[in-house]
Amino acid sequence: MSCITTQERAVAINPTRSCAPIGAMLANYGIHGAITINHGSQGCATYPRHQMARHFREPVEVASTSLTEKTTVYGGKGNLLEAIKNIVDRFHPTMIMVCSTCLSETIGDDIPGTIDEFQEKNPDITIPILSVKTPSYIGNHTTGFDNFLREIANSLPDKRKKKGETNGKINIIPGWVNPGDIRELKHIVREMGLHGLWLTDYSETLDGGYYEPRPHFARGGTTVEELRSSSKSLATVAIQRYIGGEAAHIYERRYGVPAHVLTMPIGLANTDAFVDTLTEITDHQVPEVLSVERARLLDALVDTHMFTSGLRVALFGDPDTLEGLVGLIAEMGMVPAFVLTASESKPWAERMVELTQELGVESEIILKGDLHELHMRIKANPVDLLIGHSKGKFISDAEKIPLIRMGFPVEDRFGYHRRSIVGYNGATALVDEITNVVFERRASGVVSNTLIELGVEGPTSIPLIYKNGNGNGKN
Amino acid sequence: MELKSSATLPERALHIALKVEGGKCQRGDGAGCAISSNSATTPGDMTERGCTYAGCRGVVGGPVKDAIQLTHGPIGCAFFSWGYRPHLADTDFHMKYTFVSDMNETNIVFGGEKKLLQSIIEASREFPEAKAVFVYNTCSTALIGDDGRDVAKQAEAIIGKSVVFFECEGFKGVSQSAGHHVGNETIFRQLVGSVEPEGDFSRTINIVGDYNIKNDIRTFEHLFEAIGLRIVTRFTGNVGVDDLKIMHKAALNVVHCQRSATYIADMMKEKYGTPYINVTLWGMKHMAQALRDTAAVFGLEAEAEVVIERELAKIKPKIDYFRQRLTGKKVFIYQGGPRTWHWIELLRELGMETQTAATTFGHEDDYEKIFEQLDEGGMMIDNPNVPEIEEILTRRRPDLFISGNKEKYLAYKLGVPFVNGHTYDTGPYAGFVGMVNFARDIDKAIHAPIWQTLHKKARPAPVAHHSSHGFAHGFEEGE
């Protein structure tokens, strides 16, 4: 059976997580024409911008109220009022989201009150101005994203809804994924003959094209009008429990929109659950296209199982991604030896224990963990593969274990934000990538489409492999 | 000259100036005086500036290769400042590891001193080979009144090595520049002069204000050595804690970044009488001058000339090749501070003209140096924000934009060739041989076939299913 451990150190060494404001900023990028004002020190806007630019390779614009020592003493209200005015005048946004920081929370600035005051003084400015609490000392980057969604669910949807009135759409909350993931989810929803209302959709705003002239706002994103009508949707499907799960329940409680909170659709069974949920909500059947994609994933799992079965894998990242990912890992016959997250959620860990038991695998579930902790585990009990974001490269380099890049940030490779890990197609691509990494690692032991396993003694002088010089295998 | 994108922000006019006929300065508000700088950013103007913590942890303290880099604060400050700035060294502990006291809500309510002390002890236990612990303060821990200095003192007694506490909370200044100052002062006060080595230091120098971005120092260190000088300490690039402790022994400080590091040169001059000279280690003329000026202090002029002649001969054919390809090109340089004025001459040596020059956190002296070097018609801008940068790229249409990672994708979305001057596309760019790299990257950026393809093949954005909101940031192309 899997076990749960909690990291005990006070100091975090090489954390896997960042902080709340970046989550709210990312989510806000999924709304067409929305702009974020970060109420705090300039670094709290500039650092996340820089980090997002390194991951998405897109211009990322976030405003700051530029608090300094003086404003810290007298309060940042004046700066916030000025910032909102300046953003409205120069950018003409469709919506403004103000997220807080350690600084503005600790000095006790009343952001909602300041926004009310602004709106009273400027009755002609009618765009929504939202306030989201995101001090860095509470939770992590996922917390900011989740708080943003709760705020959207609470304050934007149209409350006047006639009985039985519907927009015919399904609210879908993708959570913290990549533009490529959202596009894959859209593909599934479209093939099902359904209309999704995306909370939120940064599939194009953060993976845009080159156009002349450059559009004022990046193309794409959910519109404010769509958000307003989200209370009239048929149902809400959240594919991450900790990002958007609560927002889905708010839709149910406040507007009577039924909530479906699922495991992230990574791998066959988890994608089936997503597709099944869509068929349950509507009476639409699974279309031919998806059936073929599903069969293709099964085919890929069969084709590769001789090379992946039994591999020990260490995973790190956000709870929702890990929960979905162990499904695929088990389907590939691999063992998720270490599953490490920065979260402290006991209920999540307990669910992971149950889940791994159902899947027939054994893991050590590490809560409140950092990458130094994972490194020490791997040193003591080596693994074949490491899966997580770019910061895993330091373990990968030191221990010569391949790193499958996934999650946020992937800053040392190109195009990962365009890939998908969800849906049948995402899983198939991941199965291929993992298998190829195994092959590449043992390149000198690969002959055509087979692998030569070493460590076999025989009464012959024939070398077991031909050194062709391009393998960096452990053998 | 007023930027249309800032029409609603009248105070921004004070941060913009043109060099007009007769070499006179004309500020955005029509006044004939120098531009405002190093002042508070207009809230919500979409600034590119960072915070005091970033200047201290990211720039000055971060490159110290054998110190535990510990942030006292919440997780984000540590995560975002970890491992992206390529201040390389001969070891990579400082690039690979980041440490943080990971303040949570309870710590914020009840104070973080205990957790900080425990963090320092644990970190030093995990990495006993580290020579010191550098602790960086953040907004939240400063506001709750944690006495980090006292904790550092206690920790020092327990772990038996230096614990250096930087009071670099993010809100302290108007930009990251304040963090450079804190970094200089703290290292000077706590480390410099704490060890007295024996030996002859009569022909030694410190390289001050070079952060060894992409191994810049490899391009010029051996040149100083070739004229008979030894380098004691590099402040701070490829530098260890022990080097900082004996920094005061050098006979001369050679100051490269004169925004982020003149502070320590001044303090050393006052306390130890160490003289310093200001140099630029980019470009042919400046690099040669740096060697000459340094050599002159030691009476090694003849040796310097030999080195200069040899090195120039090596690169000259290559530079000539690039000059012929780059002559007449117009450039918009936007760097943190001094690089903007360091590079005007370098670009001139490549036949290029600096059309617009901007800095994120430059002070008055930086803008004086920029203004002096600009040609008539040149524009100077302090702390430009995103719409202003976009307007400059669109209206002044430079052939090249030299800036940093955040601005890179904006330039690309506008189809403007770009070179990353902050962390370098390839690098190193300093010294004589680095200039060839720089020129090669500029040439590659400007002459890449993609620009032809873009401008021939690009199409307008397809009409979206949702409403659109006019053109970029309130001004129109071609105006």
Residues of chain A with CATH 3.40.50.1980: 3-12+290-443, 20-139, 170-267
Residues, chain B:
479
Contact A43 B51 (CB under 8 A): yes
- Select the residue from A210, A211, A371, A399 to test the B interface by mutation, using most B Cβ atoms within 10 A: A210
Q: Smallest CA–CA separation between A40 and chain B, in Å?
A: 8
Q: ipTM of the predicted structure?
A: 0.95
Shortest CA gap B50–chain A (Å): 4
Grouping H, G, I as helix, E, B as strand and the rest as coil, residue A73 is helix
Domains of chain B: 4-36+327-416+449-457 (3.40.50.1980), 52-190 (3.40.50.1980), 204-310 (3.40.50.1980)
The residue assigned the tokens 């004025």 is B341
Report the phi/psi class of residue B246: left, alpha or beta, with left for phi > 0 and alpha for psi in -120 to 50. alpha
Q: Residue B470 burial (CB < 10 Å; 0-12/13-18/19+)?
A: exposed
Separation of CA B278 from chain center = 16
Q: Is A414 on the interface with B (CB under 8 A)?
A: no
Nearest CA in chain A to B85: A50
Residues of chain B contacting A22 with CB distance shorter than 8 Å: 76
Are A106 and B44 within 8 A, CB to CB? no
Global pTM reads: 0.95
A19 at interface of B, judged by CB pairs closer than 8 A: yes
In tens digits, chain B (479 residues) has pLDDT values of: 679 999 999 999 999 999 999 999 999 998 888 899 999 999 999 999 999 999 999 999 999 999 999 999 999 999 999 998 999 999 999 999 999 999 999 999 999 999 999 999 999 999 999 999 999 999 999 999 999 999 999 999 999 999 999 999 999 999 999 999 999 999 999 999 999 999 999 999 999 999 999 999 999 999 999 999 999 999 999 999 999 999 999 999 999 999 999 999 999 999 999 999 999 999 999 999 999 999 999 999 999 999 999 999 999 999 999 999 999 999 999 999 999 999 999 999 999 999 999 999 999 999 999 999 999 999 999 999 999 999 999 999 999 999 999 999 999 999 999 999 999 999 999 999 999 999 999 999 999 999 999 999 999 999 865 433 333 333 333 33
Task: Indicate yes or no: CB of A68 within 8 angstroms of CB of B172.
Answer: yes
* B127, closest residue in chain A (CA to CA): A13
Q: Please tell me the class of the A170-267 domain.
A: alpha beta
Interface of A with B in 361-400 (CB under 8 A): 372, 391, 394
DSSP string, B22-45: GGEEEETTS-SSPPP-SSPPPTTS
> Would you say the C-alpha torsion B43, B47, B51, B52 has a positive or negative sign?
negative
If contacts are CB pairs under 8 Å, which of residues 22-81 in chain A contact chain B? 22, 32-33, 37, 40-44, 46-51, 53-54, 57-72, 79-80
User: B108, A137: Cβ pair inside 8 Å?
Assistant: yes
Model confidence band, residue A470 (pLDDT cutoffs 50, 70, 90): very low
**pLDDT reported for residue B33:** 81
B74·A79 Cβ contact <8 A: no
* A428-447 residues touching B, CB cutoff 8 A: none
- Which residues on A lie below 8 Å from B171 (Cβ)? 40-41, 67-69, 71-72, 103
Residue tagged 């003209």 (tokens): B353
Q: Please give, rounded to a whole number of angstroms, the shortest distance from the CA of A97 to a CA of chain B.
A: 12
Q: Structure tokens of B258?
A: 């004169």
Å between A129 CA and nearest CA of chain B: 14
Instruction: Please check whether residue A280 is in contact with residue A259, taking contact to mean a CB–CB distance below 8 angstroms.
Output: no
Q: Which residues, 6+ apart, have CB-to-CB distance to B60 below 8 Å?
A: B179, B180, B183, B184, B187, B236, B260, B261
Q: Is A102 on the interface with B (CB under 8 A)?
A: yes
The answer to whether B75 contacts A223, with C-beta atoms less than 8 Å apart, is no
According to CATH, the topology of domain A3-12+290-443 is Rossmann fold (3.40.50)
Question: How many angstroms separate the CA of residue A284 from the nearest CA in chain B?
Answer: 25
Of the CATH numbers 3.40.50.1980, 3.40.50.720, 3.40.30.10, 3.40.50.360, which one belongs to the domain with range A20-139? 3.40.50.1980
β-bridge mates for residue B134, sequence order? B69, B164
A49-74 pLDDT, tens per residue? 999 999 999 999 999 999 999 998 89
- Enumerate the β-bridge partners of residue A36: A97
Contact state of A47 with B81 under an 8 Å Cβ cutoff = yes
